[in-house]
């Protein structure tokens, strides 16, 4: 291969009368042009090997653990509102007052009826005792004694009924004061003062609890079986306490840090229409940042801890229908190794199969390498966790 450039240089020198020095320079240039190019420089590194836990991501929504639609137990006109719209309330705080005047009157009537019944009972008791003594001496008949006993027992029943009426009237009067049934954040008032409130029908407002708070999301069959297996390996059950699997929820606002919690419930069957099962996680919410109705992306721990081999996404190439990484030997020779990628964790791609973690792989410059060729490697050390574009924002 070198004869042709040398002959061409000699021919040129002879044709144009070049000197010996010029001829030597031409020959040197021809030899330099025929030399092979130097191997390309690429960045190489060892994969990151660390304890990892696989995770899956779903979209879900926060819901209050407890939520109440506040209704009145009696009919009446709304008289007073005692809260500020959107305020935090404690259990027992006054919320509304229904017009009490009709119920005050009803209580007074019931108490009057009770006094009448007590007076009647006192008279019936005296008559019964008098008749009983006279019957014993033979002055009155036994039938008369029976009549007085009946009147006395009826008087006792009348007192009991009147007392029940008083208790009911007092209860209705107490119901005119509507208080918070639980701690939480109250909604706006849904009815204004002066409007008629229908018992057990008119919704006056709603209250939702905030701490703790639940997060619901739907899981497909494949992932559900995986979570159930992971829960069994931990000695628990997915339906009983959610298997204790760890979850992390990211909010739509990237400025808010992710929140961590655990699965604590799964429904007892899959939905026939969607083939999914609804799962619940519970989170502490002491600062009330999480609100019922917020959407979020939940990451669920999909495995127990294992040693994972992690490489940058840029280190994984394609060879037809296979995924490969390029391994560099000590002499700089490049070979390709088929791999089976897994999920992305800590900013890297998990390699399920194909690597042991001891290889030196190309992490930058894949376009300049080919299997069987040689490269000039520049070794770098990968950090335990890569800084992703999402994390840098």
Strands 48-52 and 306-311: antiparallel
Confidence band of 392 (pLDDT split at 50, 70, 90): very low
Name the band, by pLDDT with cuts 50, 70 and 90, for residue 138. Answer: low
Strand, coil or helix: 36: coil
pLDDT greater than 60 at residue 237: yes
The dihedral built from the CA positions of residue 182, 185, 187 and 192, taken in this order, carries a sign that is positive
| Greater pLDDT, 299 or 3 | 299
- pLDDT at 92 (0 to 100): 92
Kindly list the distances between the CA atom of residue 282 and the CA atoms of 9, 16, 57, 83, 222, in Å, as whole numbers in the listed order: 83, 91, 16, 29, 23
For 112-148, give the DSSP string: HHHHHHHHHHHHHHHHHHHHHHHHHTTSS-HHHHHHH
Opening angle at CA 391, ends 387 and 393, nearest 5: 120
Rounded to whole angstroms, how far apart are CA atoms 301 and 158? 68
Give the model's pLDDT for residue 22.
Answer: 55
Q: Which two tokens stand for residue 139?
A: 């002055």
- Per-residue pLDDT at 335 exceeds 80: yes
* Farthest-apart Cα atoms in the chain, separation: 174
Which pLDDT does position 391 carry in this prediction? Answer: 45
Selected residue with higher pLDDT from 125 and 111: 111
For residues 375-391, give the mean pLDDT: 77
- pLDDT-based confidence at 66, cuts 50/70/90? very high
What is the predicted pLDDT for the residue at 29? Answer: 56
Greater pLDDT, 133 or 77: 77
Question: Which of 170, 279, 307 lies closest to 215, judged by CA?
Answer: 279
Closest CA to 279 of 328, 220, 320: 220
pLDDT interval class at 82 (50, 70, 90): very high
- Above 50 in pLDDT, residue 299? yes
At 31, the pLDDT band (50, 70, 90 cuts) reads low
Q: List all residues 6 or more positions away from 292 whose beta carbon is below 8 Å from its beta carbon.
A: 62, 63, 64, 67, 208, 210, 213
- Of 12-21, 42-51, 122-131, 271-280, the range with the lowest mean pLDDT is 12-21
**Would you say the C-alpha torsion 169, 174, 175, 176 has a positive or negative sign?**
positive
What tokens does 216 get? Answer: 């619901």
pLDDT greater than 50 at residue 232: yes
pLDDT at 179 over 90: yes
Identify the pLDDT of residue 4: 45
- The dihedral formed by the CA atoms of 172, 175, 177 and 181, expressed in degrees to the nearest 10: 160
Q: For residues 173 and 178, what is the distance between their CA atoms, to the nearest angstrom?
A: 11
Q: What is the distance of C-alpha 247 from the center of its chain? A: 7
Mean pLDDT for 292-312 is 84
How many residues are there in the chain? 393
Average pLDDT for the chain: 83
Write down the residue that tokens 């609890």 correspond to.
209
Average pLDDT over residues 311-332: 87
Q: pLDDT at residue 274 above 50?
A: yes
Q: Check residue 140 and give its pLDDT.
A: 65
Question: Which of the listed ranges 65-79, 114-128, 276-290 does the model predict with the highest average pLDDT?
Answer: 65-79
Give the pLDDT score at 56: 78
Residue 316, phi-psi category: left (phi > 0), alpha (psi -120 to 50), beta (remainder):
beta
Residue 275 has pLDDT above 80, yes or no: yes
- Give Cβ neighbours of residue 95 (< 8 Å, ≥ 6 apart): 70, 81, 82, 83, 89, 178, 179, 180, 186, 204, 205
Q: How confident is the model at residue 111 (pLDDT cuts 50, 70, 90)?
A: very high
């Amino acid at each position: 291969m070198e004869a042709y450039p040398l002959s061409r240089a000699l021919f040129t020198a002879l044709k144009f009368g070049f000197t010996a020095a010029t001829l030597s320079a031409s020959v040197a240039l021809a030899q330099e042009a025929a030399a092979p190019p130097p191997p390309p420089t690429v960045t190489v590194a060892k994969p990151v090997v660390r304890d990892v836990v696989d995770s899956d991501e779903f979209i879900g929504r926060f819901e209050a653990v407890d939520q109440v639609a506040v209704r009145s137990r009696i009919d009446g006109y709304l008289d007073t509102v005692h809260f500020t719209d959107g305020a935090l309330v404690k259990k027992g705080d006054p919320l509304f007052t229904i017009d009490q005047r009709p119920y005050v009157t009803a209580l007074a009537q019931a108490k009057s009826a009770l006094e009448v019944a007590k007076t009647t009972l006192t008279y019936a008791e005296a008559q019964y005792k008098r008749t009983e003594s006279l019957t014993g001496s033979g002055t009155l008949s036994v039938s008369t004694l029976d009549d007085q006993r009946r009147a006395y027992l009826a008087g006792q029943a009348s007192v009991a009924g009147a007392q029940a009426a008083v208790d009911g009237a007092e209860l209705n009067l107490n119901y005119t004061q509507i208080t918070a049934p639980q701690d939480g954040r109250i909604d706006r008032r849904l009815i204004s003062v002066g409007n008629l409130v229908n018992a057990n029908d008119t919704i006056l407002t709603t209250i939702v609890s905030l701490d703790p708070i639940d997060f619901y999301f739907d899981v497909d069959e494949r992932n559900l079986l995986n979570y159930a297996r992971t829960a069994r390996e931990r000695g628990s059950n997915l339906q009983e306490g959610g298997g204790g699997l760890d979850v992390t929820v990211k909010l739509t606002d990237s400025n808010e840090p992710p929140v961590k919690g655990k699965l604590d419930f799964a429904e007892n069957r899959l939905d026939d229409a969607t083939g999914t099962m609804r799962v619940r996680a519970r989170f502490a919410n002491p600062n009330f940042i999480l609100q019922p109705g917020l959407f979020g992306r939940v990451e669920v721990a999909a495995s127990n801890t294992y040693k994972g081999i992690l490489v940058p996404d840029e280190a994984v190439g394609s060879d037809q229908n296979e995924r490969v990484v390029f391994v560099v030997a000590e002499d700089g020779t490049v070979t390709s190794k088929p791999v089976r990628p897994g999920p992305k964790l800590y900013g890297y791609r998990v390699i399920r199969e194909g690597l042991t973690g001891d290889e030196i792989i190309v992490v930058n410059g894949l376009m300049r390498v080919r299997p069987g060729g040689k490269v000039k490697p520049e070794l770098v050390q990968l950090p335990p966790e890569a800084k992703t574009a999402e994390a840098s924002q």
